[in-house]
Structure 1
Amino acid sequence: MGTFIGHALPGAFFIIVSIWWIIQFVYTKIVLDNGRQRPRSRLMYCLHRVPIEGSLIVFGGVVGFIGEMMYPAPKWTLIDSEGHWKHQVEWQHVTMYTYFALYGGIMVMGRSCVPSVAGKYEKAFGALAFAVEGFLFHFHTHGRSDLDVQLHTMLVVAIFICFLSTSAEVWRPKDTLVELIRILFTLVQGTWFWHVGIVLYIPPGGEPWDPEDHLNVMFTTVMFTWHILVDMLVLFFFYGITKLALKMCGFSSVRYSQMSNGPEEHEVKLLGNNTEAGNHLLGGSESD
């Protein structure tokens, strides 16, 4: 990851995933009524069962793993001939990619082969992936310049918030605010990865930033807050566009039927029938 491409690749991954999450969020809220509706169309029902999100995360993790270890040359050696650690930075990065690929794999299993077993552990593995990422980046900048440390510290802040929000979803899976916080700071991660790559490797104007200038360090913190604001506007934009598109298409031109609520619904109906029967008997006794 010691190149611009090394920062742009994970940045693009987090940006794509966060945009997918906000589109999925709007679709679930508007079309599926928070999961209380289900598609009647067989095509849409099949698409609901396709593990698109998990497959996307697995693909990103595998591509990042291979790219990190193969570009620009293979780096599969862990210890050199003299017994010293080799390519330690790259091995840190592939560890991060491995945990996210594992998270995606759990999501795929939760949507397909073992939904009753793997489905309830999706958020736990997502929190674990963010925790490992934050842990690795926290110790990633030892011995580096003040500017480099500050850039990666802001990244760790975004990762930590992603970890907290994803952990909260384990116990509050239907909390809208927690879900939106996770989506927002995943997008912040993505755009900040690009920011770090640009500042360190292709600075605007072609002049490198002074890594020890305190003003550069201070302004880095200001720009991180700007990223949060701009990314909020980006999510609002995609929210509005998705909502408008769904309404223009008549909710994707698919008829939806209300999902059965299971035993609770049956109990309510049974209670209603018993009440009607009781009223009938009372009415009959009064007429006699």
Structure 2
Amino acid sequence: MGKFSGHIYPGLYLFSYGLHQATVVFKTRIVGDSLLNSSCPPGSKGRWARLWEISYGGWVKIVTGSLFTVYVVFCLDDGMVLMNRNVPPRFMYPKEWQHLTMFILLSLSGCADVTSKNLLPRRCVLLERGALVLTFHVLLMLFVSHVRDSTGVELQVHCLLIFVVFLLMLVLTVELWAPNAFALSLIETFLFLMMGSWLVQAGFILYRPVTGYPWQDNDTSDIMFVTTFFCWHTMTNALCLLGIYGISSFWHRRCSHNSKLTRSKLAPHCGSSEGPAYTLLPEVEHSEKDNQAQAHLLPESSP
């Protein structure tokens, strides 16, 4: 899992998760809703309401973590062997076991989300946040030990990734006491985008360079350009967040404007439908008076 696909697929998942979080955060900010309330649409009832309440994010974590776990187990020719048969025995595949631990934690975080939203009688946000914080605390420790035998370009790439994971761990920890803070949610979303895009970039730098030639560990310019690329990712992800906010704001204003136009078009029809009901009332009264007058005249005219 330490090869090209081991960086690309987790990176794409994290980047997609960051994009989804960005849309949710900006939508709640524009509408003025709470980040913790995933309210059901007003028109949904019965089965649709139950489908809306399903923790799709939790199930995505479970499925993604399970697929990555299966991939790690079966990507090795000899299988996931913990220790060899030498005397004394030695541990085997330490990095693969670390990857396996990361993906199991991702699945457990998804299980916590599903349990909180769909199994418990009342949603427990602390359980969801606590599981996510625990995941990133363990992830940080695994990444720190992951670079023990790394040097040069690989060490620089992973150090920058550890920096992002450390900041994300701090933000998630603070969110335990302020889960509805917009600024913290925005920083969290940005760091998820950074972590995902940088993992994808790391796969290309370490295993499939665009030029076709490997990066040189003893070349200072190569190591410096790793940091330069990281800064470019920072600016690109910030612009991506700005673009998502602009699109979300435009879409919300357009939808609200269309709803106002629809209401204004329906208002005259509603008013005109009430008009004839009031105009018919005098006619009904006159017809009743004529009938009463005819009823009084009929006995007098009879022989």
Q: Does 1:235 align with 2:241?
A: yes
Would you say the 8 A contact 1:59–1:101 is kept in 2?
Answer: yes
- Map 1:60-209 → 2, pairs under 5 A: 60-71=64-75, 73=77, 75-82=79-86, 83-114=89-120, 116=122, 118-209=124-215
Deviates more, 1:135-144 or 1:213-222: 213-222
Deviation at 1:233, TM superposition (A): 1.1
Q: Structure 1, residues 106-137: CA drift from partner, whole Å, max 9, x if none?
A: 11111111153643221111111111111111
Which amino acid counterpart does residue 56 of structure 2 have in structure 1?
A: I
Deviation at 1:26, TM superposition (A): 2.6
Distance 1:16 1:115 in 2: 30
Unaligned residue ranges in structure 1 (runs of 5+):
254-288
- 1:16 partner letter: S
SS of match in other structure, 1:211: coil
User: Is residue 220 of structure 2 the alignment partner of residue 214 of structure 1?
Assistant: yes
Which deviations, in whole Å up to 9, do the C-alpha atoms of 1:78-106 show, x marking residues without a partner?
A: 11222221121111001011112111111
Q: What do residues 128-176 of structure 1 show as CA deviations (whole Å, max 9, x unaligned)?
A: 1111111111111112222111100000000011111111110001111
In the comparison of the two structures, how many residue pairs are matched? 253
**Which residue in 1 is equivalent to 2:8?**
8
- 2: CA distance between counterparts of 1:192 and 1:102? 24
Hey, what's the Cα distance between the residues in 2 that align with 1:113 and 1:32? Answer: 28
Distance (Å, rounded) in 2 between the aligned partners of 1:145 and 1:10: 23
2:149 is paired with a residue whose SS is coil
1: CA distance, partners of 2:64 / 2:237: 21
Q: Distance in 1 between matches of 2:16 and 2:79?
A: 27
CA distance in 1, matches of 2:166, 2:6: 21
Secondary structure at the aligned position of 2:175 is classed as: helix
Unpaired segments ≥5 residues, structure 2? 260-303
Pair 1:213–1:112, CA change in 2 (3 A): same
Give, in whole Å, the separation in 1 of the partners of 2:4 and 2:100.
17
Q: Matched residues in 1 for 2:121 and 2:175: separation?
A: 18
CA deviations on 1:31-76 (whole Å, 9 max, x unpaired) are: 4623497632225744541201111122221111111221264632
Identify the residue that residue 281 of structure 1 maps to in structure 2. none
Q: Is the 8 A contact 2:82 2:93 kept in 1?
A: yes
Alignment CA distance shift 1:19-1:29 (3 Å): same
Q: Which deviates further from its counterpart, 84-93 or 243-252? A: 243-252
241-250 or 163-172: which moved more? 241-250
Choose which of 52, 58, 75 in structure 2 pairs with 1:54: 58
Q: TM-score, normalised by structure 2?
A: 0.77
Supply the distance in 1 between the matched residues of 2:258 and 2:29 (Cα, whole angstroms): 14
Matches within 5 A, 1:236-255: 236-250=242-256
Q: Residues 53 and 194 of structure 1: is their aligned pair in 2 closer, same or farther, counting only changes over 3 Å?
A: same
CA contact (8 A) 1:58 1:100 kept: yes
The whole-number CA distance in structure 2 between the counterparts of 1:139 and 1:76 is: 19
Larger Rg: 2
Q: Deviations over 1:184-237 (max 9, x none)?
A: 011100011011110111111101110122222222122212211111111222
Using the alignment, how far apart are the partners of 2:39 and 2:219 within structure 1? 56
Cα RMSD between the aligned structures? 2.3
**2:5 partner amino acid:** I
Contact 2:25–2:182 (Cα < 8 Å) also in 1 = no
What is the TM-score when the length of structure 1 is the normalising length? Answer: 0.80
